[in-house]
Amino acid sequence: MSDVLLSIDCSNRWSCLGLAVGGKIAGERNLDLGREQAARLPLLAAELLAGHGLKVRDVACVAVTVGPGYFTGIRIGMAYAAGLAFALGVRIVPLSSLEAVLRSCPGWDCGVKAPLIAASRELAFSSVYRDGCLVLPEKERSYEELLSKLHEISSDFEMWSVKDARLFASSPREGVQYIANPSGAAHAALALERLHASIKPDELRARYLREPGLGRSL
């Protein structure tokens, strides 16, 4: 088949896979795999495809989140996506990890929303969207800095994240709402919108926004 898209997101605690066939969302797999991401990702992709009568060789386009987010998870997702795209001779759609978080939020395209991914105990990667459009670029920010920026934009806003004990662990987290289940299907829908931005596998680059730490990874 020439119209099968597989999306991959390993940029936070969850591993999310989305499948689109013929320009329509067909399925998803969303699991909190923790340190098992690298071992289980290829199997999960094969299972998702098999559930719709497809094989890995049927994939015509791959989408993957490139950051910011968990350093190890980003590497795992990108390595698998690039390897798959190279092997199949197909293109890759790079996606923002924060925009992927946004797309899992209820009413993602209404109002002012700030998607978050934990960066450390004090900081989080964040951006701000108004009605689905980016109004504050991605950056590593403290809770206080983000709150100040949000108040400059609007008095009515929401902050959203995947549940993560490290998120602003040393700061107050009032106002942060948590996504019960991140959606691979939502990521696949985003990828369909960004097909025009597809690239060759050897052009894929991570967007970490910071140097990876030398200690224990997130």
pLDDT tens track of the chain, all 218 residues? 469 999 999 999 899 999 999 999 999 999 988 778 888 999 999 999 999 999 999 999 999 999 999 999 999 999 999 999 999 999 999 999 999 999 999 999 999 999 999 998 889 999 999 999 999 999 999 999 999 999 999 999 999 999 888 888 877 778 999 998 889 999 999 999 999 999 999 999 999 987 655 444 44
State residue 104's pLDDT score.
95
Q: State residue 163's pLDDT score.
A: 85
| Contact between 173 and 167 (Cβ < 8 Å) | yes
Residue with tokens 């999306």: 7
Q: What gap in Å lies between CA 188 and CA 192, rounded to an integer? A: 6
**Which residue intervals of the chain bear CATH 3.30.420.40?**
4-96+182-203
DSSP conformation letters of the chain: ---EEEEEE-SSSEEEEEEEETTEEEEEEEEE-GGGHHHHHHHHHHHHHHTTT--GGG--EEEEE--SS-HHHHHHHHHHHHHHHHHHT-EEEEE-HHHHHHHTSTTTTSSEEEEEEE-SSSEEEEEEEETTEEEEEEEEEEHHHHHHHHHHH-SSEEEEEE--TTTTTTS--TTEEEESS--HHHHHHHHHHTGGG-B-GGG-----SSPPPSS---
Which residues belong to CATH 3.30.420.200 in the chain? 98-179
Structural class in CATH, domain 98-179:
alpha beta
What is residue 90's predicted lDDT score, i.e. its pLDDT?
A: 98
Six-digit token string for 55? 């094989």
pTM, two decimal places: 0.92
Dihedral of alpha carbons 120, 30, 63, 86, sign: positive
Quote the CA–CA distance of 184 and 175 in Å, as a whole number: 25
Residue among 161, 166, 159 at smallest CA distance from 144:
159
Separation CA 35–CA 126 (nearest Å): 23
Q: What are phi and psi of 3, to 5 degrees?
A: -130, 35
Quote the tokens at residue 169.
């662990």
What's the fold here for domain 4-96+182-203? Nucleotidyltransferase; domain 5 (3.30.420)
**Cα(187)–Cα(94) distance, integer angstroms:** 11
Exposure of 132 by Cβ count < 10 A (0-12 exposed, 13-18 middle, 19+ buried)?
A: middle
Residue 216: the pLDDT is 43
